Amino acid sequence: MVGTSHARPRGRIAQLIFSDGPGGAERVVANVATALQSSGVETVVFLPFNGEGWLASQLAGSGVSIEYYRIERPWSPSSARRLAEAFDRHGVAVAHSHDFGTGVYGAWASWLAGIPHVMTMHGDRYYAERLRRRLALRAAAAVSAQMVAVSMTCVRDISRRLGIRRSRIRMIPNGVRFVPPQRVTLRDELQLQPDDRLVVAVGNLYPVKGHVNLIDAFGLIANRHPNLHVAISGRGALAESLMARAREYELQHRVHLLGLRSDISAVLAAADIFALPSLSEGMPLALLEAMFARCPIVASDVGDVSVALDNGHVGVLVPPADPLSLAEAIDRLLVNPAEAHSLGERAMRRACSEYDLSRMVDRYVDVYESALARYH
């Protein structure tokens, strides 16, 4: 997976993350770790003790080592020392932390262990509103070899909130490994008829994902498209309230909450349209997967979504939290299948050229090599 344009990093690479549930940052860790390992770069992933176990299951059989850690809150020098000792025990050459929690402790432990530290920020919700966290993250950045952000929106936010020059933050967009599905069963599961249309959204059921706006948009065009259904893949506390909203429109039989799915490529293959109604994003993996799947896309113009969609050339952009605009865009693609098909094809070509997993991994390898070269 690692390209030939870079030398392989010398020594083992550690990936650290504060949770192991199904989420975007966790999937990036799994993808980077397995890609490095399969290319001959020894990799160890540090996961929280007594975590959910999802990320560990994704790494099973890959050859990637797993180390479990504990961190006592809110401030624990002994936890940092234990991490440093684990780095030494595994022969770690570069530690790569993801998001706030492991960013701070990973930087601290790397400093104690005398190895370079790389930190990737996937968003700002874990530190933005708390001064103590911002100060801790700024200190971690100061002792890290490289701060990375997954989007230019994240770069700007980090620079503004932490007072770090943008030139010190490298932007590495997310990439995905897209494997076409062997079987597509969703339409049968939902008992859809051949002429039924399906809008799919993928994302955990959190307010920031904007799923309530998708249901509101559906309510605006449901009578115009009586064979239209909406399916949302993800889990979260909003399931009951989202179905209550669907019942307000008498759409409870046409709104389907799929829960957590492991066959996202198959879910996308069943879709006529992919919707991303988020209120905030960096560079969402679900969007990239929908592009690889040739889905016609309607997405909120947040974060770097417009960058991924080439400013609307390969997908329709709408304002966030605007159900009417979302409804109009979905309606437009439903009644113009030729346009929808063209958008899907252009999205797939852009995904292959810009957002393949190998490109992301090669960029991180370059960061690791540069960190090692500067450190030694």
What mean pLDDT comes out for the span 179-200? 96
Q: Residues 104-129, buried b or exposed e (16+ Cβ, 10 A)?
A: bbbbbbbbbbebbbbbbbbbbebbbe
Q: Residue 125: its pLDDT value, please? A: 62
Q: Residue 333: its pLDDT value, please? A: 98
Nearest-angstrom CA–CA distance, 345 and 307: 17
What mean pLDDT comes out for the span 241-246? 98
Q: What is the band of 8 on the pLDDT scale with cuts at 50, 70, 90? A: low
Identity (one letter) of the amino acid at 295?
Answer: C
User: Chain-wide mean pLDDT for the chain?
Assistant: 94
Q: What is the band of 5 on the pLDDT scale with cuts at 50, 70, 90? A: very low
For the stretch 316-349, pLDDT in tens is 999 999 999 999 999 999 999 999 999 999 999 9
Q: Residue 6: its pLDDT value, please? A: 45
Whole-model pTM over 0.75? yes
Share of the chain above pLDDT 70, in %: 96
Q: What is the band of 259 on the pLDDT scale with cuts at 50, 70, 90? A: very high
DSSP class of residue 8 equals: P
For the stretch 73-123, pLDDT in tens is 778 999 999 999 999 999 999 999 999 889 999 999 999 999 999 999 997
What mean pLDDT comes out for the span 212-239? 97
Q: Residue 207's closest CA among 241, 169, 230? A: 241
Q: Residue 72: its pLDDT value, please? A: 85
pLDDT score of 179 more than 80: yes
Q: Residue 4: its pLDDT value, please? A: 40
Q: Residue 2's closest CA among 25, 22, 31, 44? A: 31
Domains and CATH numbers, the chain: 12-177+356-375 (3.40.50.2000), 186-354 (3.40.50.2000)
H-assigned helices in the chain: 24-38, 54-59, 77-90, 99-113, 131-142, 152-162, 186-189, 211-221, 239-248, 264-269, 285-292, 305-308, 323-335, 337-354, 357-375
Residue 222, both tokens:
């449901």
Nearest-angstrom CA–CA distance, 364 and 116: 14
Q: What is the band of 2 on the pLDDT scale with cuts at 50, 70, 90? A: low
What mean pLDDT comes out for the span 200-207? 96
Nearest-angstrom CA–CA distance, 321 and 314: 21
CB atoms within 10 A of CB 250: 10
Q: Residue 150's closest CA among 363, 298, 6? A: 363
For the stretch 146-175, pLDDT in tens is 999 999 999 999 999 999 999 999 999 999
